[in-house]
Chains A and B, each alone.
Chain A
Amino acid sequence: MHVAIETKNLTVKFEKKFVALKDVNITLPAGKIIGFIGPSGAGKTTLIRCLVGRQKITHGSAKVLGVQAGSAKLRGRFSYMTQSLSVYPDLTVRENFSYFASMLGQKGAAKVAMIAVVLEQVDMTPQADRLVSGLSGGQKQRVSLGVSLLGDPEILFLDEPTVGLDPVLREQLWDLFRELVTAGKTIVLSSHVMDEADRCDDLLLIRDGKVLAHASPKRLRAQTRTKSVEESFIELVGEQHESA
């Protein structure tokens, strides 16, 4: 197994008091879709921000592709789609792609070609020259995802990539994720929608800054003798309360 991400005792405290993540020890495989699943406020975003190097780690360590998270050497090897839109509403789709591609060091004909490919991948070619502010919520979300596909990153960190999308669109995005992983990429995504968990290869169930479970959906269901990840989650939270 190729390791994409490894953390040891990863702990994050905000203002020295609130513990956002506590002793997270995980080893995540490359070439898979990995889901960080849990209610909002559980620590999913904080964990992603640690891995992309935006969040200061209080103690412990985090490695991405074998390199210390946040290291300048990693920049360009992964992409990060934040929970907020993180594209420019007052630019067209193509202008957004062009700017972020330039910031990733792309140029010339290769840049133009790459933008054309990404426009197709996120199915935005017909809207390429429209302002993002005039697009629907789902289209905006796809533009933001498109930015994360630029520059051929090895790992895609996607914070709630499918939130607010209609079921058909969500299906399309999951097809795209599967395609990307087949092509060798690693996708780390967060979601508070439990039914999405069943589509991941590897799951982290997170609650109150702690990892409750780490397994494939199938194994999780088997371990907790439940039919869905949602039920597993409830089961695990119950166990946690009993042991506490």
Chain B
Amino acid sequence: MSPRKTLATTHRVLRQLGHDRRTLALLFVVPPMLLTIIKYAFQSEPSKFNQLGPMLLGIFPMVMMYLVASIATLRERTNGTLERLMTMPAGKLDFILGYAAAFSLVALVQATISAVVILGLLRVTVMSGALSVILGALASAFLGTSLGLFTSAFATSEFQAIQFMPTFIFPQLLVCGLFVARDHMVRFLQLLADVFPLTYSVDAMKQIALYADWSTTLTRDFVIVLAYALLALLLGSLTIRRRQ
């Protein structure tokens, strides 16, 4: 692994996105747009939106980055570029980490825009402040990127990769505490929620919204989300084989 080659990969992925303005626009515009819709959907219950808004900001970046990352790496696996790269003197980690860094940078912009919109325009109050919101959204995006890089290895077509979203992401979404509070769910769903990473991303946002102080629970949430993300990146690099 070499920092120069990792950075070259990051630069290359960003250049690709730079030539694809529409994808960039979608990444930056869609989360604020969805948040705005939900705000007005809950117009009669503003306190509900104040609670839901931050939680959703723990979810949208993950879902969007998951899709972008899994399709990007799937294309790389199917169009021969990965085949070519694997015969070159470059490490698998140069490839994986380069991708992760590129998408994290995009996610930083996305998180900042979303935070400005949700706190400024949509007037949601969070106790922990704007910086924590950005960090939470960023962690969510990083998790999505890593899971996307990993699970795309099991897809042999774009159709499958897209279907992996309802397969891998929706179950996490259903039990993460957004629809039903976790302690109100049956035991086995609680257990599922306990092992799903999205639960902790959403919980982190909840903590950020409710408490001004950085609690140990919040630290735990961040550590778990990052641990899952790093694990997915590691597993992702294992799915890239030099020799098939």
Name A residues whose Cβ lies closer than 8 Å to a Cβ of B.
Answer: 52-56, 70, 72, 75-76, 78-92, 95, 99-100, 102-105, 107, 131, 147
Contact = CB atoms under 8 A, between A and B. Distances in A.
Output the residue of B85, B243, B244 with the most chain A CB within 10 A: B243
Interface residues of B, number: 26
A88 B16 contact: yes
Interface in B1-59: 2, 4-5, 8-9, 11-12, 15-16, 19-20
A103 B87 contact: no
B83 A75 contact: no
Contacts of A105: 2, 5, 89
Nearest to B83: A82
Contacts of B86: 54
B14 to A, nearest CB: 11
A91 B244 contact: no
A54 B244 contact: yes
B243 A103 contact: no
A83 B4 contact: no
A44 to B, nearest CB: 16
Which 6 pairs across A and B sit closest by C-beta, in order of nearness?
A: A86-B80, A102-B8, A84-B80, A75-B89, A82-B80, A76-B89
A102 B15 contact: no
Contacts of A102: 4-5, 8
Contacts of A55: 243-244
B87 A75 contact: yes
A95 B8 contact: no
Contact of A91 (B16, B83, B87, B89): B16
B89 A147 contact: no
Interface of B: 2, 4-5, 8-9, 11-12, 15-16, 19-20, 79-81, 83-90, 94, 242-244
A180 B53 CA distance: 62
Contacts of A147: 84
Contact of B87 (A78, A90, A107): A78
Given A54-B87, A76-B88, A91 B81 contact: no
Contacts of A76: 88-89
A129 to B, nearest CB: 11
A103 B87 CA distance: 10
A232 to B, nearest CB: 32
B242 A54 contact: yes
A56 B81 contact: no
B16 A103 contact: no
Contact of A54 (B9, B81, B83): B83
24 contacts: A54-B86, A70-B242, A75-B87, A79-B87, A80-B87, A81-B84, A83-B80, A84-B83, A86-B81, A86-B83, A88-B81, A91-B12, A91-B19, A99-B9, A99-B11, A99-B12, A103-B8, A103-B9, A103-B88, A104-B89, A105-B2, A105-B89, A131-B19, A147-B84
A21 B42 CA distance: 65
B87 A95 contact: no
